[in-house]
Amino acid sequence: MHSLDASDVDARETPGQRLVAAAARAMIRVMVRPIMRAGVPVEQQRIRLTRMGRITRAPRGVEYRTGACGAVPGEFVTALGAAPRDRAVLYLHGGGYCVGAPATYRVITGNLAVRCAARVFAADYRLAPEQPFPAAVDDAVAAYRGLLDEGIGPDAVVIAGDSAGGGLTVATALRLRELGLPQPAALVLFSPWADLGLAALGPPPAGEILITKAWLAACADHYLAGHPADDPLASPIGADLRGLPPTLIQVGQDELLLTDARRLHRAMMAAGVAVHLQEYPRRWHVFQQNADVLADADRALDAVAAFVGSSVNTATGAP
């Protein structure tokens, strides 16, 4: 496990970056947290998050094109002027399986396209409560099949996701194993939600500014729709994880889902998976969304790019 301690962060964090972090925290607490809370109708959460996405600062030099992969709608993300690479990232967004869309996560998907020299497909998978479990898993598998049908080898595909999309990423790999389909080269998980049962969820850290247990519980109820929470494709924390590809987990230490990230890391290690956990002190849920502004977000995505490059090169035998 690679865990940065607070003294390391203090030593490298400039006064300007401390101000950036404070401003980002304040914005999330005031503008985003009130949207993602129990009691706010799902449709209202979607509308308000879509509006927030319109003011998100997406990276320059990136093209976002609506399309479909394996009949799953979504967004293709490519770096303009980049040399074509036979490498793809399937991105599964967060939002508790109920909210969120590819356009909301353009900061992350655009940076992945640039930093990983990859073609990114952000799947607009079906959401609950209209389409409960296992619709999201089915769509993720269909999108993965679509990439393979385009001629990209599985050893050149990485599946990545944040929050619920992080848990969905692991569930997708498990479903691929069930179907006898080849595994991708690697998995990348940002602040994964891996246990919809919530029983083992620890208390929120003092610095938690976004996610609440009540909101997670409401989302789980919508997604499961009466289905058992301990189904491995819903809560992969309890699955047989043997044979899954190399995995990178990144999580902030100031977030409720830190417990899930650590538990999933331990479970993967016990199953013999080549898994790496990176914890960032005083960082919040999916802080990578603040890339190009927050230095730690840039460092985290650089680490992802290095991991993706190494994993794909190892899988393909490239130098």
pLDDT band, very low/low/confident/very high, at 293 (cuts 50, 70, 90): very high
Question: Is the pTM higher than 0.75?
Answer: yes
CA torsion sign for 116, 183, 240, 131 is positive
Q: Is 124 left (phi over 0), alpha (psi -120 to 50) or beta?
A: beta
SS (H, E, C) 186-201: EEEEECCCCCCCCCCC
Going along the chain from its start, the domains and CATH numbers come out as 2-316 (3.40.50.1820)
Using DSSP, how many helices (H) and how many strands (E) does the chain show?
9, 9
| In the predicted structure, residue 8 carries a pLDDT above the cut 50 | no
Residues in the chain, total: 319
Q: Beta partners for 186?
A: 158
Q: What is the pLDDT of residue 59?
A: 87
- Please check the confidence at residue 219 and state whether its pLDDT lies above 90: yes
Is residue 83 predicted with pLDDT exceeding 70?
A: no
Give the type of residue at 261: A
Task: Please tell me the predicted confidence (pLDDT) of residue 53.
Answer: 80
Average pLDDT score over residue span 286-300: 95
- How high is the pLDDT of residue 5? 43
Tell me the per-residue pLDDT of 190-209, one tens digit each, with 9 for 90 and over.
999 999 999 889 899 999 99
Percent of the chain whose pLDDT exceeds 90: 86
Identify the pLDDT of residue 319.
72
Residues that are catalytic: 163, 255, 285
CA pair distance 213, 208, nearest whole angstrom: 11
Give the pair of three-digit tokens for residue 318: 């490239």
Most confident of 42-56, 195-209, 227-241: 227-241
